[in-house]
């Protein structure tokens, strides 16, 4: 396991702040137990920040007809819906809610080539709100497989998240499981599949990025 590059500055600032507060509290003329009471919550917060930016070492099997989870979290939506931005037709939407304790790295769910990408400014509704997919800050990425099938992935900011990081560019080669971006502090990822896709996951299921199979194409 390693730490994500998006967390380096945050972790350094948090460590320096913890060190400064610990130094100051150590010289406060109070009993030792009170010093520990001051420092302990700050130390726990620092550990949580490190935990948030972790990147586990996982490998994707990259089987051609499978759609893998693009993120860790909980599957909260599986439904047919009209995708209005790119396809403008009916698709199967699978939504994964990412809590602040989940790994927040996002990966390509299928292998192919990036054919479309667009960032949208927006609101910060809670990530499980039905309108968050169309009204929140978000970034849409479409991957075209070698057989022409296209899969849409949408990174969506939540009530806490205030920054979506997307590394994809149009015409990028996108192997299944390769990193496409990162969302800071609580968010959601939607995947839009063809209506004839065979869904292999269920609502309420825990998803593990790169490993959990969402569907077969």
Alpha carbon distances (Å) from 200 to 37, 67, 214: 48, 9, 5
Options 95, 132, 133, 187, the catalytic residue: 187
Going by the DSSP 8-state scheme, the letter that residue 136 receives in this structure is: B
List of residues 6+ apart from 175 with CB closer than 8 A: 60, 62, 108, 111
Nearest to 100 by CA among 52, 164, 45: 52
Which residues contact residue 91 at a Cβ distance below 8 angstroms, ignoring those fewer than 6 apart? 80, 81, 82, 83, 152, 192, 193, 194, 195
95 among known catalytic residues = no
Helices (H), the chain: 8-26, 32-52, 132-135
Place of tokens 């609580």: 186
Q: Give yes or no for a contact between 203 and 101, defined as CB atoms under 8 angstroms apart.
A: no
Radius of gyration of the chain (CA): 20
Residues belonging to the active site = 187
């Amino acid at each position: 396991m390693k730490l994500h590059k998006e967390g380096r500055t945050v972790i350094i600032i948090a460590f320096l702040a913890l060190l400064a507060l610990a130094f100051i509290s150590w010289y406060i003329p109070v009993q030792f137990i009170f010093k520990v009471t001051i420092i302990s919550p700050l130390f726990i917060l620092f550990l949580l920040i490190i935990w948030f930016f972790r990147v586990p070492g996982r490998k994707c099997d990259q089987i051609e007809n499978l759609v893998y989870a693009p993120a860790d979290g909980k599957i909260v939506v599986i439904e047919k819906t009209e995708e209005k931005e790119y396809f403008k037709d009916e698709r199967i939407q699978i939504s994964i809610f990412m809590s602040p304790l989940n790994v927040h790295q996002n990966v390509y769910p299928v292998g192919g080539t990036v054919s479309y990408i667009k960032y949208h400014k927006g609101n910060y509704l809670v990530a499980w709100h039905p309108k968050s997919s169309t009204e929140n800050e978000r970034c849409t990425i479409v991957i075209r497989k070698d057989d022409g099938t296209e899969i849409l992935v949408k990174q969506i900011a939540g009530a806490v998240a205030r920054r979506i990081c997307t590394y994809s560019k149009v015409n990028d080669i996108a192997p299944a499981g390769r990193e496409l971006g990162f969302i800071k502090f609580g968010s959601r990822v939607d995947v839009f599949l063809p209506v004839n896709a065979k869904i292999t996951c269920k609502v309420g299921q825990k998803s593990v990025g790169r490993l959990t199979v969402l569907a077969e194409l």
